[in-house]
């Protein structure tokens, strides 16, 4: 089943060939024309079932969750009249605006057919059997001599598949900000949020950046197997994850004493996983920093100078107001006094000046 | 000013000259001083409540302090825009650290004091830049005390440097009065 799913994805995901024969004709024409053999559809000589409708399904329609399904819809004009523009829509399970996958417009000359391709992304689609409904000219804009052959339903089976997500955070052992020589605990949560189980091929690698040194023997996990690659300076994990389960991987690192202040150490673990469960990991999932709104962003470890709290015995950060309240009062009184004295002095100077003026 | 020449003895004449203009003149000047101080106080209040404007003041004070300290090889940096920090000590420049209140009082005293407009202009310049420099010098001294004599930070901050700052500001204003505002009278 897995190989089949892979084959479908490689060959344009899943080609469900819907041969759609729509008898479209101008009302004035009224009757089907006789198509020439080279205009026949599907192949020349193939007898259309029911006289005017033929359906071709090239492959079994089975996909894994998250795969894309490529649906080919063929619309044929049996008559000699032009159709004018009309829509062809593809719906999922029911015909409604909420389940519309896509709509395309086309028009057909007499005896002409058109092939339209739709792509359906099954990400988030529940496992199980689903109907894909192709509908030509749903608004009945084209006058046709037969309106009831404009819709076709194709059944697609979506198989449950695993979906892997990874979160990564860190905790400073001393509870303060991160400084050189600090000990940090790295916490990586690998989750299977999909409906399908993931086999034991699931692997995770966390290459530590320059400035972080792994503390030997500290790697542990709630399930699976952890390891450390000293050459790559990477912590590794392998294991299986059933549907809707997770594993917590923890290890400790020490911030290198030579890390300059301030600096940021971005770090991201990467999970290799197998979406279609064919035994080969062919998808990757980078870890996300859950403390930021960005998706799948690295976890940044900010190395800063830690300022000590204010305290009588601890020479740390202090607020240094220019003046305390009493200082402000003293300053205000001093300025007012000085202002008064200088005004008096000014008047004395002016008076002396006037005296000298009157004396001369 | 009438009758100034009829009295001998400097202290008595000083008193008479001082109030020769009448209480109304003094009251008018006092009200003017209060009004100017209120306006400037409102301006200071607006600056401290406006994040962008106050951030500029904080960055300027912290940046200048850090710059002077780095000239003295203290290896400081400005963190979060308002904290001057080395690996041994740090000073956080909060609203009260910027000296805005002192500058407002100084400028009010300059504007209300009777002098020519250009003298007021010089006084405002001395007030803004002189007090900025004085405050930075205070923070630099405080940083050195915090680094070298951390046990005496409180005493240095609350007693010594505060007093020095008040006296320095007063001295700056008196120098302005004598050398600039009274320049025409003295000459």
What are A76-89's pLDDT values in tens digits?
777 767 778 888 88
- With CA atoms as reference, the chain B residue closest to A320 would be B97
Q: Are A233 and A249 spatial neighbours (Cβ–Cβ below 8 Å)?
A: no
Q: Between chains, do A261 and B87 touch, taking CB under 8 Å as contact?
A: yes
* Residue B130 Cα distances to B63, B135, B172, B176, B179, angstroms: 17, 9, 8, 11, 15
**Which of A304, A331, A358 has its CB closest to that of B105?**
A331
Res A246: pLDDT: 92
Query: What confidence score (pLDDT) does residue A85 get?
Result: 86
When pLDDT is cut at 50, 70 and 90, the band that residue A311 belongs to is very low
Q: Which of A30-44, A141-155, A259-273 has the lowest mean pLDDT?
A: A30-44
pLDDT bracket for residue A284 (50, 70, 90): very high
Assess A121–B contact: CB distance below 8 Å, yes or no: no
- In this complex, which of A318, A331, A345 lies closest to B166 when CB atoms are compared? A331
% of chain A beyond a pLDDT of 90 = 22
Is A323 close to B33, i.e. CB distance below 8 A?
A: no
Q: Say what percent of chain A tops pLDDT 70.
A: 74
Asked if the model's pLDDT at residue B71 lies above 50, the reply is yes
- The answer to whether residue A334 scores a pLDDT higher than 90 is no
Is-contact A60 A7, C-beta < 8 A? no
Question: What is the pLDDT, as a whole number, of residue A4?
Answer: 46
- The reported pLDDT for the residue numbered A305 is 63
Dihedral angle computed from the Cα positions of residues B123, B125, B131 and B134, in that order, rounded to the nearest 10 degrees: -110
Q: What is the pLDDT of residue B157?
A: 80
Instruction: Return left, alpha or beta for A178; rule: phi > 0 is left, psi -120 to 50 is alpha, else beta.
Output: beta
Closest chain B residue to A334, measured at CA: B170
Per-residue pLDDT, A248: 94
Touching check for A335 and chain B: CB below 8 Å?
yes
Give the pLDDT score at A125.
83
B20 lies within 8 A of chain A by CB: yes
Work out the minimum CA distance from B185 to partner chain A, whole angstroms: 7
Q: Is the per-residue pLDDT at B82 higher than 90?
A: no
- Comparing CB atoms, the residue among A305, A334, A335 nearest residue B87 is A305
A312 touches chain B (CB under 8 A): yes
A317 in reach of chain B (CB within 8 A):
yes
Q: Which residue would you say has higher pLDDT here, A311 or A115? A: A115
Q: Confirm or reject contact between B123 and chain A (CB < 8 A).
A: no
What pLDDT does residue A176 have?
66
Are the C-beta atoms of residues A338 and B112 closer than 8 Å to each other? no
- For A259, the token pair is 């890390």
More reliable by pLDDT, A11 or B33: B33
pLDDT of A159 above 50: yes
What is the interface size between A and B, counted as CB pairs within 8 Å?
Answer: 136
Decide if the complex's ipTM is over 0.85. Answer: no
The residue assigned the tokens 């500001």 is B169
Over residues A172-190, the mean pLDDT reads 84
Q: Does the distance separating the beta carbons of A349 and B182 come in below 8 Å?
A: yes
Which tokens belong to B52?
């962008």
Q: Is the pTM of this model over 0.80?
A: no
- Mean pLDDT, rounded, for A208-236: 92
pLDDT confidence bin for B4, thresholds 50/70/90: very low
pLDDT in tens, B27-54: 888 888 889 889 988 888 888 888 888 8
Lowest mean pLDDT among A171-185, A265-279, B12-26, B159-173: B12-26
- Within an 8 Å CB–CB cutoff, is residue A341 touching chain B? no
Mutation for testing the B interface, residue in A264, A303, A314, A318 having most B CBs under 10 Å: A318
Nearest to B162 among A323, A342, A350 (CB): A323
- The pLDDT of residue A322: 61
Query: Any CB–CB contact under 8 A between B159 and chain A?
Result: no
Instruction: Give, rounded to a whole angstrom, the gap between the first and last alpha carbons of chain B.
Output: 21
Strongest mean pLDDT among A71-75, B9-13, B101-105: B101-105
Q: What is the DSSP letter of A178?
A: B
Average predicted confidence (pLDDT) for chain A:
76
């Amino acid at each position: 089943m897995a190989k089949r799913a892979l084959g479908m994805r490689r060959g344009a995901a899943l080609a469900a060939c819907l041969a759609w024969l729509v008898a479209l004709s101008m009302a004035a024409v009224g009757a089907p024309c006789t198509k020439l053999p080279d205009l026949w559809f599907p192949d020349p000589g193939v007898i259309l079932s029911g006289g005017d409708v033929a359906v071709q399904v090239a492959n079994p329609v089975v996909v894994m969750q998250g795969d894309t399904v490529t649906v080919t819809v063929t619309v044929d004009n049996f008559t000699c009249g032009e159709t004018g523009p009309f829509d062809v829509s593809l719906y999922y399970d029911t015909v409604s605006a909420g389940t519309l996958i896509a709509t395309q417009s086309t028009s057909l000359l007499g005896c002409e057919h058109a092939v339209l391709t739709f792509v359906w992304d099954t990400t988030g689609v529940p496992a199980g059997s689903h109907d894909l409904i192709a509908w030509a000219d749903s608004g009945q804009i084209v006058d046709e001599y037969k309106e009831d052959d404009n819709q076709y339903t194709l059944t697609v089976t979506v198989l449950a598949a695993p979906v892997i997500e990874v979160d990564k955070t860190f905790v400073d052992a001393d509870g303060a900000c991160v400084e050189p020589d600090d000990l940090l605990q790295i916490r990586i949560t690998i989750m299977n949020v999909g409906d399908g189980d993931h086999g034991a091929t699931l692997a995770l690698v966390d290459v530590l950046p320059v400035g972080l040194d792994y503390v030997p023997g500290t790697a542990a996990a709630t399930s699976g197997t952890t390891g450390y690659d000293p050459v790559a300076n990477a912590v590794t994990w392998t294991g299986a994850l059933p549907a809707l389960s997770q594993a917590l991987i923890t290890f400790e690192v020490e911030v290198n004493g030579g890390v300059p202040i301030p600096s940021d150490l971005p770090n991201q673990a990467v999970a290799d996983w197998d979406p279609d469960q064919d035994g080969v990991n062919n998808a990757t999932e980078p870890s996300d920093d859950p403390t930021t709104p960005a998706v799948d962003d690295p976890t940044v470890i900010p190395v800063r100078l830690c300022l000590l709290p204010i305290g009588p015995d601890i020479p740390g950060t202090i607020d240094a107001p220019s003046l305390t309240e009493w200082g402000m009062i003293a300053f205000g009184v001093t300025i007012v006094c000085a202002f008064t004295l200088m005004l008096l002095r000014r008047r004395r100077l002016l008076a002396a000046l006037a005296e000298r003026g009157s004396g001369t | 000013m009438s009758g100034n020449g009829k009295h001998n003895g400097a202290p008595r004449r000083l008193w008479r000259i001082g109030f020769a203009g009448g209480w109304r003149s003094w009251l008018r000047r006092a009200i003017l001083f209060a009004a100017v101080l209120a306006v400037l106080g409102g301006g200071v209040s607006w600056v401290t409540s406006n994040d962008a404007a106050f951030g500029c003041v904080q960055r300027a004070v912290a940046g200048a302090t850090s710059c002077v300290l780095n000239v003295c090889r203290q290896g400081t940096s400005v963190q979060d825009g308002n904290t001057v920090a080395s690996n041994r000590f740090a000073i956080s420049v909060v609203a009260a650290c910027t000296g805005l209140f002192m500058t407002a009082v100084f400028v009010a005293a300059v504007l209300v004091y009777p002098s020519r407009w250009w003298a007021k202009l010089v006084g405002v310049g001395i007030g803004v830049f002189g007090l900025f420099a004085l405050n930075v010098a205070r923070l630099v001294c405080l940083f050195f005390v915090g680094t070298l004599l951390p046990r005496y930070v409180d005493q240095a901050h609350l007693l010594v440097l505060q007093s020095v700052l008040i006296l320095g500001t007063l001295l700056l204003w008196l120098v302005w009065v004598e050398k600039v505002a009274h320049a025409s009278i003295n000459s």
